[in-house]
Chains A and B, each alone.
Chain A
Amino acid sequence: MPIEATFPPALILLAGALLLPLLPRNCRSLFSLFIPLLALGLVWLAPTGTHLTLALMDYHLVVYQVDQLSRIFGMIFALITFIGCLFAFHVKEAAKQTAALLYAAGALGVTFAGDFITLFVFWELMSLPSTYLIWARGTRESEKSGMRYLMFHIFGGGLLFAGILAHTGETGGILIEPLTARTSLSSWLILAGVALNAAVVPLHVWLSDAYPKATVTGAVFLSALTTKTAVYVLLRVFPGWEILIFLGVVMTLYGVVFAFLANDIREVLAYHIISQVGYMVAGAGIGTELAINGASAHAFSHILYKALLFMGAGAVLQTTGKSKLTELGGLAQKQPLVLWLYMIGAFSISGFPLFNGFISKSMVIAAAGAAHYNLSMLFMLLASVGTFLSVGLKLPYATWYGQNRGLSPIPLPRNMVLAMAVTAFLCILYGIMPGLLYNRLPYQVHFAPYTFPHLMETSQILIFTFAAFWIFRKEIVGKAGITLDVDWFYRRPAKWVQRIFLEDLETAFNKVETLMIDTAHKLALLSNNPRALFTGSAGKKNYSPDAYRSSLQLLILLALFGFVLISFWGLLSQIGVVTK
């Protein structure tokens, strides 16, 4: 069957994932590059409209539906899968490559789903391969953390599915459309399920827990796909839900404060995913055309620069084996290229002019201002200060400058450098030519990022953040240790639950068992010689029937002796007969 422009890209990725393990080892990496590229081409060419429907019992499933909003998300998902596969080109394990493609298939499936059932199927398709990308690191920490990640997503999937069932029960329809029923339980269940994947505080902790423990290459896919598919669903289903503005602003600030405390470089970046996704969640909550455009543009930019940052941090981990700020330092001379490619990502996330964060973050903030959410606007500006502080200053300062710890990094595979260079190029390209992105946004854009006041504002924020950092740079050295988060509520009690329900319970059972055996033993002793109870003859512990029988020994002895005598007599007389 020839592939037409209306063929669903998710199915291409799915087919690619299933085919990949059957290919010879040497071809797999090339194949894993080709598949997302093909998917990207299909998304690029797909005309707006519904292209694939299926009938399931009485329901009409819309498997592939394209509009401006889904197209921009589909494009960036396919693009980042390609970049991630390039970064992982040297990885030859089929399981990892298959997991990455399956994960991307899930993300694209969700993006182009036109009904809730299709959405849910692809939503669930994402969770297991993404867990595998955490487990594949192979450490005990990643194994446990991956399990917590999976449990979280199974719970989130349950919430979403319950919501979808309730929604279908209420309305009779399964088609995805903006939900407006603010009092209906089904809407809130769906919102909770989606918010969990968007890492909305306080349902965020799976992210900061698991992403730092994923494989070096897997973290690139993780940073891009799960949270941003959830953002897409929020934009599609919950535009204008004011609670999302509040939650989004909380996320932006929560992320930067916790990122500042983190000691693992990928944990710093993970908390900044929460912070950056906060802008998008707030954008969904504002719900105006400018806000939806801003959130979509910011998702697009964020996926690029965050992947670049994770690649940079992953490169440090890969080449030195270290990922703690307190164990890194003095790498600038040894890894200048990694440093500068990382810094392009850092400039982008911090919103430097000429980098892609500048053209998208400002759009969300402007949308908040235009809708007169002034306090939210101020807090989002404050959060951008924290972003520059942690990702743009503290992390690179401690990793590449700071105390020289005599680390000697091994050379980085070329494909990893190339993937970082491609992403860095795109970050700058979209920063310099915002029109390339703006033309593809869901609504027509009436926003110009490069205005004189905006450039002055941004310069002031960045320069004076740097000034404060420089003056207090001695204050901010990292400390070894971990930061408690909401996970405390289930990880700490887990110990007590284990103690109460397993260890203490087992001890109690053991005690009762010992007691019972002891009692039985004593009772048995009692019944050993019941006669002694009545006769009072002490000393005889065990009952012996012989003690109470008349003696038969003598009688038997006499009988036997008589028998022997008679036999002997008989024998002698026989001998006498024979001799005569």
Chain B
Amino acid sequence: MNKLLWALLGIVAVISLLGGLASPHDPAHDVWWNSIPDFFALLGFMGCLLIIFLAKWLGNLFLRKREGYYNAD
């Protein structure tokens, strides 16, 4: 990606973080994660890592097999 796109992405990221802090929470729907500032940035980053490493771990544990594992059937 070129520098312009990176810069644009950086700006949007900052805006979303600031905007997230400024967003009002729906008082009718009070959940624990509302008390964590910019929770959704955290969810995006940590969630992504969680899925990558959970999937890789399960794959290495027993889910991934060579091609042709079932071929004898």
Which A residues are within 8 Å of any B CB, using their own CB?
256-258, 260-261, 369-370, 372, 374, 377-378, 381-382, 385-386, 389, 452-453, 455-469, 472, 475-476, 479-484, 491-492, 494-495, 498
With A261-B64, A468-B45, A492-B70 as known contacts, state yes or no: A461 contacts B51, CB within 8 Å: no
Residues on A with C-beta less than 8 A from B43 are: 381-382, 385, 460-461, 464
Secondary structure at chain A's binding surface: helix, strand, loop or mixed? helix
Given A378-B33, A462-B44, residue A260 in contact with residue B51 (CB < 8 A): yes
Q: In whole Å, how far is A43's beta carbon from the nearest beta carbon of chain B?
A: 36
Q: Which residues of B contact A (CB under 8 A)?
A: 9, 12-13, 15-17, 19-20, 23-26, 29, 31-33, 38, 40-52, 54-56, 58-59, 62-67, 69-70, 72-73
CB–CB B23/A453 < 8 A? yes
Q: Which of A257, A459, A482, A495 contacts B67 (CB 8 A)?
A: A482
Q: Give the residue among A256, A372, A457 with the most B Cβ atoms within 10 A.
A: A457
Q: Is the CB of B24 within 8 A of A464?
A: no
Asked if B24 and A484 make an inter-chain contact with CB atoms under 8 angstroms apart, the answer reads no
Whether B59 lies near A261 (C-beta < 8 A) is yes
The CA-CA distance from A483 to B56 in the complex, in Å, is 11
- Sample 28 A-B pairs with CB under 8 A, ordered by A number: A257-B51, A257-B54, A257-B55, A257-B58, A260-B52, A261-B55, A377-B31, A385-B44, A385-B47, A385-B51, A389-B52, A456-B19, A460-B16, A460-B38, A460-B43, A461-B41, A463-B16, A463-B44, A464-B13, A464-B42, A466-B9, A467-B45, A468-B44, A468-B46, A475-B52, A479-B59, A480-B66, A482-B67
Contacts of B51 in A (CB 8 A): 256-257, 260, 382, 385-386, 389
Report the minimal beta-carbon distance from A69 to chain B, rounded to whole angstroms.
26
Centre residue among A372, A481, A492 by max chain B CB count within 10 A: A481
Q: Which residue of A lies closest to B66 (CB)?
A: A481
Complex Cα–Cα for A153 and B7 (A): 51
Chain B residues, Cβ within 8 Å of A453: 20, 23-26
Question: Which A residues are in CB contact (< 8 Å) with B20?
Answer: 453, 456-457, 460
Query: Measured between alpha carbons, how far is A264 from B35 in the docked complex, in Å?
Result: 41
Asked if A465 and B23 make an inter-chain contact with CB atoms under 8 angstroms apart, the answer reads no
Least CB distance, B35 to chain A, in whole angstroms: 13
**Given A261-B63, A374-B31, A482-B65, also A460-B47 (CB < 8 A):** no
